Structure 1
Amino acid sequence: MAKKESKRKNQVDISKIEARQIVASCVCGATFDVMTTLKELRVDICSACHPFFTGESRILDAEGRIEKFRKKYQLADKK
């Protein structure tokens, strides 16, 4: 029996895609071994530097943001 041709011409045959082990690097300097189809992988944040995993807490200046928002829209209402 002959193989059925795919109805989609641009369809990728996923059985031919090979994953390989690479070293992923974070901006903090941490490295991790991962399996991927990419040649290189760089991340902005990882478990070594994310506050949730490190236990550090960061205080945001929410009050300053609120005041800035109020000033911005009070000026818009006056115009």
Structure 2
Amino acid sequence: MKKGIHPEYKEVKVILSDGSEVVTRSTMKTKDGVYKAEVDSKNHPFYIGSQKMMSAAGRVEQFNRRFGKKAAKK
């Protein structure tokens, strides 16, 4: 490896939103080697199942109501 072109690879303590800690290695620049994660798999809507899903048919229907052609008056 060439010297002086690679970022420093060091241990980082990651503190998850529930208070648990994980020690890993990273090139992330942190103060005092600690990273506090605000979002993780225990509180992100995608992982906990509270994410609002909308079917594709519902999206098409919503689009047509909003931008679709108006019915011609006779």
TM-score class, shorter-chain normalisation, is 0.3 to 0.5
Using the size of structure 2 for normalisation, the TM-score is 0.45
Higher RCO (CA-CA < 8 Å; seq separation 6+): 2
**More helix, by proportion:** 1
TM-score, normalised to structure 1, is 0.43
